[in-house]
Structures are given as structure tokens and as C-alpha cells.
Amino acid sequence: MANHKGSVKQAGRVAGTPNKATSDARHAIALFVDGNAHRLNGWLDMVANGTDDVKPNPVKAFEMFQSLVEYHVPKLARAEVSGPDGGAIKLENVTITIIDPLRIGND
């Protein structure tokens, strides 16, 4: 039965408590990945270079690598910067200095 507006929650998990099934599944996946990480390079090489039965496909190997990396390195969220009331940002007095890397330390 759903809680009515204004009623106090009296049962269930405390807010923020992780789901045990999800936690267990993530742990099992992490163990599997850790146990097979040493094989990953060989598998990607087989896809990229091909085998007796499979044609070489370096693009597919790269796509597979990318799909794995996104779980290790999370994607960054898009951020938008705006001025007051969502308007444009006004820039004034911008100074650009170009530094010659060959002259650094030679002055």
C-alpha cells in the first residue's frame, strides 16, 4: 500500500542503503573480471588479428576495448556554463599572451 501524502515512512530500507542483490552481482562481476584480466589482451589480439576461423577485425577489437574502458573510467557528464538568468557570458578585457617554448629559460 502506498504512503499517503504527509505520512511518515515506517518500513523498508533506509534511504541510501545499497540494494544487496545489486551489490552481490557487482561483486561477482568484479571477481570474474579480475580473474580474467590477464586474458583480455590475448582476446583482443585474436579479434584484431583474426584466427584460422575468423577474419581480422581491428575496428571491432577497438570497440570492444572502448566498451570495457567506460566501466573503468566513467564518462564525464555534460556541463553547461551560462551567465545570469541562463544568458550568455560576457567577457571583457581578455588578454592573450603567446609564449614561445623555445625561449623559456633562455632570457
At residue 40, does pLDDT exceed 70? yes
Interatomic CA distance for residues 43 and 62, integer angstroms:
12
Gap between the Cα atoms of 65 and 41, Å rounded: 10
pLDDT (average), residues 5-31? 79
Write down the domain spans for the chain: 20-86
Residue corresponding to grid cell 561483486:
27
pLDDT tens readout for residues 53-100: 989 999 999 999 988 887 767 677 888 888 888 888 887 888 888 888
Q: What is the pTM of this model?
A: 0.46
Average pLDDT estimate for 30-42: 87
Residue 57: is it exposed, middle or buried by C-beta count within 10 angstroms (0-12/13-18/19+)? middle
Rounded to whole angstroms, the Cα distance separating 20 from 22 reads 5
Task: Tell me the torsion sign for CA atoms 63, 65, 71, 77.
Answer: negative
Q: What grid cell was written down for 18? A: 545499497
- Cβ atoms within 10 Å of 68's Cβ, excluding its own: 14
